[in-house]
């Protein structure tokens, strides 16, 4: 079976960071949407 190489490990850490960023961005976007929709 293939193994995780150091470049893939580095890439996945970056990917995890991007996922956290996308979570934060989505949460922020939804919060703004709710604030805009609510009176």
Partner 1 sequence: MNTVTLAFPLVVLLGSVLVIGVGLGLFRLLWAFLGIGVRAVWRGLGPRQPGLPDQRVPLVGAGEPAHLAYWWRQLWVDAVSAAWYGTRVVWTVLSDPWLERFVRNLFHGRRPSGVRGSSPGSRFLLVVLVGPGVALGALLAAVLATAVLGVVDAVFALLLGLVWLGCAAAVPVLRGVQRGRLLVRGVRMKCPYPGCYRAVPLAVHRCPDCRAEHRGLRPGRYGVLWHACACGRRLPTTRLAGRGRLASLCPHCARPLPATAGTTRVVHAPLVGGTSSGKTMLMAAMVEGLHAWARRGDLTVEYASDEDRRTAVELGQELKQSSWARATTGGQPRALMLTVTRGRRRRLLYLYDPMGESVSDAERVRAQGYLAHADGVVLVADVLADPKVRGRLGPEDARRIADARPSAQGPWETYQRLTGELAALTGRRGRLSVATVVTKRDVLDQLTSLPVPGARIDGWLEEIGLGGLVRALGHDFRSARYWAVSAHAATGTGPLEPEQRRAAEPVLWLLAASGLRTGALTGPGGTGDKERRIRLRGNGERERKYSPA
Q: Which residues bind partner 1 (CB under 8 A)?
A: 1-16, 18-19, 21-23, 25-26, 29-30
DSSP 38: -
CA distance 22 to 30: 12
Owner of token pair 């703004």: 32
**Residue (7 or 39) nearer to partner 1, CB:** 7
CB of 39 to partner 1, least distance (A): 19
CB of 13 to partner 1, least distance (A): 6
> Structure tokens of 12?
């996945």
CB of 14 to partner 1, least distance (A): 8
């Amino acid at each position: 079976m293939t193994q995780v190489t150091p470049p893939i490990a580095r890439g996945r850490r970056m990917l995890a960071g991007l996922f956290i960023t996308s979570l934060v961005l989505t949460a922020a976007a939804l919060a703004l949407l709710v604030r805009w929709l609510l009176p």
